[in-house]
Amino acid sequence: MSELAGLLARRLPPGVYPWESEAAEEEVRAEVEEAGWTFVHLDTAGVEDKAAFLDRAAEAFGFPAWFGRNWDALRDSLGDVRAERGTLVLWDGWDAFARSDEEPFAVALELVRERAEESDGSPLAVLLRASPDAR
């Protein structure tokens, strides 16, 4: 069973999962939305620091213009990510970010993991897809 299918069918608990797939973003989006989930594509390719990551996260999640661009603001804003069926985040480019600036990546991953592990009735699942050159 692929992580994507398992998450969408709720056979796997919400969480953060490594994912090997060459599926186009549009294909993943279509499958996620067909299952009634909300789709977020977080692409951090080329991100080398905390500020750039927070900018990409704000854009991907559609955070408001007044988003504080700090870790507390990210934690709070992720807490506001709610969808009836659930939200699936396809995180591309995470591995390059991790290599560029390990500490901010670790904090970002921990905040996403914390939100994914909340049992609040609005699941958040994250698929960490390795870059093609890292596979």
Give me the pLDDT at residue 130, please. Answer: 81
- Tell me the residue type at 38: T
pTM for this prediction:
0.93
- Tell me the residue type at 49: D
Over the stretch 38-94, which tens digit does the pLDDT of each residue have? 999 999 999 999 999 999 999 999 999 999 999 999 999 999 999 989 999 999 999
At 129 the three-state DSSP class reads: strand
Q: What is the largest CA-CA distance in the chain?
A: 40
What CATH number was assigned to the domain covering residues 3-130?
3.30.370.10
Radius of gyration of the chain (CA): 14
Q: Compute φ and ψ for 127, nearest 5 degrees.
A: -105, 115
Nearest Cα to 91, choosing from 124, 118, 130, 55? 130
Q: How far apart are the first and last CA of the chain?
A: 20
